Amino acid sequence: MGSVEDTKKLRIAVLGGGMAGIAAVKNFLELPNTEVTLYERATDHRLAGAWLGVTPSAQRTLSKWCKEEDLDRVIHYRYHTFTAMDWQTGEHLFRPEQVDPAKLTKEEKWEKMDMSNVVRSELHQLTLKLLPKEIVKTGKQSIMVEEVGDEVKVYFADGSEVMVDLAIAADGINSKIRRTLYPEIEVQYLGSMAYTGFWDRYELKQAIPELPDDDLILCHKGCLIFMGYVGPTQYAIEAILPQDTPDDREVRWNDTATQVKIDHLIEYFKDWTPIVGKFFQFAKEKEMKLVILPRYRSSWLHKLSAFGDKLAFIGDAAHPTAGAFGSGTSFAYEDARTVFLGLQHAYKENGHQWTPDTVKTALKLYSDIRGAHYQKIEPLALEHEKMWNAELQDMSTEFSAGDYTWIQDHDADKGFADWVSSH
């Protein structure tokens, strides 16, 4: 990479085409004199997970990228938290003050915005379409990176390789890049499985008239259930329960539940409030696709860059947690934005030139700023997990009533500006 030529382009490889990778490319396209390529292992679209939380932070980002009418087609907006329900009786343990969005101005909606719900694949496809097709390379699974002087060499499973000035590891919770560089850090299976699926809300309501209009959370014996509206026309369930059948360890991420497995779920939840069992009975009758997601977690990276700051980890590759206050998507968006802001800042400070020092300065800023943020969040996430495993009756209440605004409504631009001004 030249140190003098103002026209020398910065070559960036974004490894992974999930939420984090798309966000990184979307931001990097605003940088001058850059050549950005997104490498994704999949060759076609698949239903990867069903229910996704969209925090106020993520919603602000999406509102800048997408047309309002496009977001309205995929997001179910919420202006209050989940209703905590007793797992057996169905009684409300905690019900937030209900807000009628029809009575709110646009400004008031932003003020009261809470975690909103979306079908993951629909949001993924909407944002992927924002990127130029020619820079998205599919069927390219990154398996290893290597530092070569001032450059990074990326190796792919198909035997090809590419040399770049900056690599962004956005390859998810089971990141091969992370495992190659840090083999001592293991990803742990948490011994629980998430079953998630969705259906047309009106048809489901006809089959289960007592289906509540609230978005619900129920908890008992290490089992957690979310039920609620995702997108404008769909209703979803996500049931997370301990591994309890011999074949659970053979399940791969994003497998589909068999009819035998759905029968097991109906039996498992027979003593719960009836709406849970009725949902799974409906899933069986309609042959609903229930996706299975084994839950994993690992230590979070406190230094988010490597190779003398020529490689950055973002999204779940940086902080592989099995859910932290529903903020996975906003974490990814905020990571991507902070890398961008670091590059933009360093480029200006270095006389509008891309040099190894420019990239090093940018990634150090990213690692310092986001690393400090995550050092505050990680202990809370672990404490939440302990509460869940301790089988506390009020876990669902704590989840609903707890104030995590500083996590879910974090402003990456302000966080970056405050850090730069104070350091």
Q: What pLDDT does residue 177 have?
A: 94
pLDDT of residue 393: 52
Domain at 270, CATH number = 3.30.9.30
Closest CA to 333 of 21, 16, 12: 21
Contact 423, 415 (CB under 8 A): no
Decide if 123 is inside a domain.
Answer: no
* Number of domains composing the chain: 2
Strands (E), 103-247: 116-119, 136-138, 142-148, 151-156, 161-164, 166-169, 188-200, 216-220, 223-230, 234-242
The whole-number pLDDT of residue 206 equals: 94
- Asked if 305 and 403 sit in the same domain, the reply is yes
- pTM exceeds 0.85: yes
pLDDT for the residue 4: 43
Are 178 and 214 contained in the same domain? no
DSSP result, 133-152: GGGEEES--EEEEEEETTEE
Asked if the structure places residue 397 within a domain, the reply is: yes
Q: Residue 24's pLDDT is what?
A: 98
- Residue 120 in any domain: the answer is no
In a shared domain, residues 214 and 289: yes
Last residue of a domain, one of 262, 296, 330: 296
Q: Which domain holds residue 147?
A: 10-45+132-187+299-422
pLDDT of residue 49: 63
What CATH number did the domain enclosing 15 receive?
A: 3.50.50.60
**Consecutive 10-residue averages of pLDDT for the chain (423 residues):** 61 96 98 98 72 91 96 91 90 88 90 89 94 96 95 97 98 90 83 88 93 88 88 90 69 82 93 95 93 83 89 92 76 97 97 96 97 90 70 60 80 97 95
Q: Are residues 200 and 285 in the same domain?
A: yes
What pLDDT shows up at residue 224? 87
Q: How, if at all, do strands 188-200 and 92-94 pair?
A: unpaired
143 and 175, same structural domain?
Answer: yes
Residue 125 lies in a domain: no
Domain boundary among 296, 320, 354: 296
Res 265: pLDDT: 93
89 lies in some domain: no
The last residue of a domain, from among 296, 317, 344: 296
